[in-house]
Amino acid sequence: MSNPATEHDRGIWHMLIATIAGSLVATHANASDSVDARARFNNEYGTASQKLKEAGGSVCFEEVQTNVRDNGNETTEVIYRSNGESLLYRLREKKNDGMREYVIVATPKRTFYLSKPAKQDNFVLKNLAGESEYDHAVTVIRLNARLAFLPYCYLEMPIVDFLKQPDVSVVDVSETDHAGARAVRVSWQRPRRMPDGREYEELGWFLLSPDDTWALREYEVGAKGYPSRIRGVVRYGERKDNVPVASEFESWKEKDEKRSAVFSVRASKVQLTPAKPAEFTLRAFGLPEVGEVVASSGQSMLKYWLLGLGALSGVIAASLRWYVYRKQLQ
């Protein structure tokens, strides 16, 4: 006759073995899924990112950007025009003294910066540069005209380039779920240094849609040992060349499940066809093209526009970069 106590213990032991085996199988499956997700990401993301970039290169946006503050919302209007490699960024912001406008036009052969002071009808040429200014201007435009670049960029840098930086380590690539669809989370970290010299570890992740051209859906950035972090969410509407086109973006600082420094972008108009080449000229803003002479008291105005303006481009670009960083990190 078997001992009931022994049979009971044997039954518990069999259950424990089954549980451990099931756990090992699940762990192996999860590890396998992680390996598969990383392999697919490594094989597909670079090509998909280029496809997103090419599709976005012929989409034009009008955006409303809102920075939520305790003392009221700050709203600006952004117009982004594109024709392949030629990009146009136009910012309109209302101040106490009236509406001000800033323009950057970047083409492979030349780049120029314009401004329209408050209570003035005409644009003023701030800088005219050649090929060497193009890459820098495109970086500034990426940072400030958000919707065209969000599917494949983090701030001003394409995600594929961000992850290739020598100080960035991809620590995990795993499958997850996003709104009922399959997604891949790419987790990364890198060492950083504060202005006072203290070092810390920056941690973050990107949530991508592998079945929808690997478009960016969400991201998070924080620091090891610090409770606050920055979250970002991208929403999509129309499609161009069978890839999603961003329609809304929202980012915020999150601490103890409370949001602050909310920054949002909403497309008020989307044009899926490229802008016309004439839009990327000085003449489009009521100014003469290089070589044209405009008589004013018997003199050419153009020569005055082009004197001593080289240093101003860096000032304008830096202020535009700070404009967005201030919105996100305040």
Band of residue 312 on the pLDDT scale cut at 50, 70, 90 = very low
Does the structure show a pLDDT above 90 at 90? yes
Evaluate if residue 18 carries a pLDDT over 60: no
* Predicted local distance difference test score (pLDDT) of residue 33: 56
pLDDT at 1 over 90: no
Which of 13-22, 33-42, 169-178, 226-235 shows the lowest per-residue confidence on average (mean pLDDT)?
A: 13-22
- Given a cut of 80, is residue 294 above it in pLDDT? no
Q: Look-up: residue for tokens 């820098």?
A: 136
* pLDDT grade for 307, boundaries at 50, 70 and 90: very low
Q: Could you tell me the pTM of the whole model?
A: 0.78
- Greater pLDDT, 116 or 291: 116
Under 8 Å CB-to-CB from 40, ≥6 apart: which residues? 184, 210
Q: What is the pLDDT of residue 73?
A: 79
Question: How many other C-beta atoms can be found within 10 angstroms of the C-beta atom of residue 226?
Answer: 12
Judged against a pLDDT cut of 90, whether residue 300 lies above it is answered with no
Residues 6+ apart with CB under 8 A from 39: none
Kindly report which listed range (122-131, 205-214, 233-242, 302-311) carries the lowest average pLDDT score: 302-311
Tens digits of per-residue pLDDT, 156-206? Answer: 999 999 999 999 999 999 999 998 899 999 999 999 998 999 999 999 999
Q: Give the per-residue pLDDT at 13.
A: 39
Question: What is residue 32's predicted lDDT score, i.e. its pLDDT?
Answer: 53
Q: Who wins on pLDDT, 3 or 114? A: 114
57: nearest Cα among 250, 289, 273: 273
pLDDT category at 57 given cuts 50, 70, 90 is confident
pLDDT above 60 (res 325): no
Q: At 231, which amino acid appears?
A: R
Measured CA to CA in angstroms, residue 200 lies from 104, 190, 203 at distances of 36, 9, 10
- Is the pLDDT at 314 greater than 50? The verdict is no
DSSP class of 276: P
